[in-house]
Amino acid sequence: MRLNITRIISFSGGIAVAAVALTVGIKGNATPVKFSADPTVQRLKLEYRRPDSIPFPKNNPYTTEKAALGKRLYFDTRLSAANVLSCASCHSPAYGWGDGQPKGVGHGMKQLGRRSPSIVNAAFGQIFMWDGRAESLEMQALGPIKTDVEMNLPVDQLLERLKSIPEYGPLFQAAFPGEGISPDNIAKAIATYERTVVSDRAPFDRWIEGNETAISDEAKRGFVVFNTKAACSNCHSGWNFTDDSFHDIGLPDTDIGRGKFFPNVIKMQHAFKTPGLREITRRSPYMHDGSISTLEGVMEHYDNGGIKRDSLSELMRPLGLSAQEKSDLVAFMKSLTSEMDPTTVPVLPR
């Protein structure tokens, strides 16, 4: 994580680039495309520049004490009823801040309904959970702790448990002077730590910044397909490759996603939030239901256009991609994974 930690009142994400008409052709194995000289590619690349700081909300600004406390809480299994699950159990740095499973596993080792989403770059998110039921990271943080099928620890028991661990008191005092241990402060500390989890610079970033040798020609061609013929950028837009919006992408799944909260809005049925693509090779299996295990499989799904139903996004359609184009897209996506710095596990308060 190499971003400066400063407060930004508002962060403007990427702008949809689908409307930009590229003049660069897809050459397959023919003469290499002169990406560095093409003005349209250069203009397009501007949409993918990394931000230079992390945005923190005005009502929960960054402090080192808060982030340090939040990290301990995030990795502490005592935040679950059975003392075996922490936030990191399902959102682990070992798996690109997910859990590597098709679906999450909760209290009593029971499988949950959806894949555990990665928390990477959550600081830049507009809305949280696959169905958007949390409007902020602070709202999200306590949800899994108290949900019976997840960590199953009611808030009153959570407070009791943390207050019984002597070394937590001074940490809360340092992070929230005079306020003590409270549900709000637990949520604020965890959210602050989560906002510091930002994807490292990837080969793609070095290419965006002008190093033409940072990624392969295959990946460069994939970038063009991503933004034109395949129009992945309609939804996977900006440096974090998400529009934070909800789409039915036509997976054969009975889960109605955001439709639960908007039963009368057809486009909300089977709609899930667009995940970002950073660190993507560490985040398999893919999709909200973990139903596709490889990036190649994901390409096949989008190329086919998904199940036809009324809720299917208007942006989904058969793409008619060639084998070369699909291979180029995968090469491009692999360039979004960084050589992530190892994450140290904190020594927990006793």
Q: Which residues bind another protein (CB under 8 A)?
A: 13, 15-16, 19, 126-127, 132, 243-246, 258, 261-262, 264-268, 271, 313-315
The whole-angstrom separation of Cα 143 and Cα 73 is 14
Tell the smallest beta-carbon distance from residue 120 to another protein (Å).
19
| Beta carbon nearer to another protein, 28 or 263 | 263
* DSSP letter, residue 33: P
Q: How far is CA 254 from CA 113, 151, 248, 249, in A?
A: 11, 25, 12, 13
Tell the smallest beta-carbon distance from residue 317 to another protein (Å).
12
The whole-angstrom separation of Cα 270 and Cα 253 is 8
Tell the smallest beta-carbon distance from residue 129 to another protein (Å).
12
| Beta carbon nearer to another protein, 93 or 132 | 132
The whole-angstrom separation of Cα 278 and Cα 280 is 5
Report H helices in the chain.
39-45, 64-75, 87-90, 137-141, 143-146, 155-163, 168-175, 183-195, 203-208, 217-227, 295-304, 323-334
| Beta carbon nearer to another protein, 243 or 328 | 243
Under 8 Å between Cβ of 316 and 267: no
Is residue 252 packed enough to be buried (19+ CB in 10 Å), middle (13-18) or exposed (0-12)? exposed
Tell the smallest beta-carbon distance from residue 55 to another protein (Å).
13
Q: Which residue has the tokens 């899994």?
A: 144
Tell the smallest beta-carbon distance from residue 262 to another protein (Å).
6
| Beta carbon nearer to another protein, 165 or 266 | 266
| Beta carbon nearer to another protein, 99 or 243 | 243
| Beta carbon nearer to another protein, 15 or 155 | 15
Q: Please tell me whether the peptide bond between 275 and the residue prior to it is cis, using omega within 30 degrees of 0.
A: no
Tell the smallest beta-carbon distance from residue 234 to another protein (Å).
9
Closest C-alpha to 330, from 290, 291, 284: 284
